[in-house]
Amino acid sequence: MGSIFLSRYVNDRAIQKLEQDKKAQLVDLFSSRRNYSTFILFGIVALFFAVIHFNWLDAFLTYVIYALSIIFYMVVNGYRSYQQLKQLQFPDFYIRAYLLSTFIRFASIVIFLFVINL
Confirm if 44 and 73 have CB atoms less than 8 A apart.
yes
Give domain status of residue 32, yes or no.
Answer: yes
Give domain status of residue 79, yes or no.
Answer: yes
Question: Taking Cα atoms as reference points, which of 21, 24, 26 lies closest to residue 11?
Answer: 26
Give domain status of residue 97, yes or no.
Answer: yes
What's the domain range around 93?
2-15+26-116
Phi, psi of 26 (to 5 degrees): -65, -45
d(CA 11, CA 56): 40
The pTM score is: 0.83
Give domain status of residue 100, yes or no.
Answer: yes
Q: Is 98 exposed, middle or buried (0-12, 13-18, 19+ CB in 10 A)?
A: buried
Give domain status of residue 47, yes or no.
Answer: yes
Give domain status of residue 20, yes or no.
Answer: no
Number of domains the chain contains? 1
d(CA 81, CA 94): 12
Give domain status of residue 21, yes or no.
Answer: no
Encode pLDDT of 58-115 as tens digits.
Answer: 988 998 999 999 999 999 999 999 999 999 999 999 999 999 999 999 999 888 888 8
d(CA 99, CA 94): 9
Give domain status of residue 88, yes or no.
Answer: yes
- Average pLDDT value over all residues in the chain: 90
DSSP 58: -
